[in-house]
Structure 1
């Protein structure tokens, strides 16, 4: 399933602050913690909790968020379907990176072991 230019643009302009509370809610409803969420985000992006809070306060877009990120080298091991899209087939790098994050949050909420989520080899 291909993403449309409109879809990609909407994701690029979405703020991290608008999605972050949904991430917390999703993982906490399933018995996981905010600290575990931060561990997953830090693994993917290199951003610690203080940096995330700064980004939330500044209302940065996902475009800026991922421009500043230092993606983990194993991020390409994140595969599967999220929001109706097969991650490894998404051509737009930013949209693929946002879906990486969505997939990790989803795996955390589903109770997957942290070493599996963080692609420890």
Structure 2
């Protein structure tokens, strides 16, 4: 499924701070913790808890968020469907990175083991 330029632009301009509370709610509703969410975000982006908080306070867009990230070299191992898109087939790099994060949060909420989420095995 191809995303449109308008869709990619909308995702790029969306603020990380506006989505972050939804990530927290999603994982906590399923019995996971904010610490586990931060572990997943740090694995993908290299951001520690202090940096995540700073980016939230600055209300950075996803575009800025991922420009500042040091993507995990194993991020390409994240595959599957999220929001109707197969993440490994998304052509726009930024949209793909946002969907990688969505996919990891989804896996966390679904109760996957952390070593599977972090692509360690």
TM-score class normalised by the smaller sequence: over 0.9
User: Over aligned residues, Cα RMSD in angstroms?
Assistant: 0.4
Give the equivalent residue in structure 1 for 2:111: 111
SS state of the match for residue 21, structure 1?
helix
Corresponding residue of 1:67:
67
> How many residues get paired?
121
- TM superposition shift of 1:92: 0.1
Where do 1:8-23 residues align within 5 Å?
8-23=8-23
Name the counterpart of 1:84. Answer: 84
CA displacement, residues 54-83 of structure 1 (integer Å, 9 cap, x when unaligned): 001100000000000000000000000000
Structure 2, gaps ≥5 residues long: none
Q: Secondary structure at the match of 2:74?
A: helix
* Cα distance in 2 between the residues matched to 1:41 and 1:53: 12
Instruction: Structure 1: state its 5+ residue gaps.
Output: none
Provide the residue aligned with 1:45 in structure 2.
Answer: 45
Tell me, in whole angstroms, the C-alpha distance in 2 between the residues paired with 1:104 and 1:86: 13
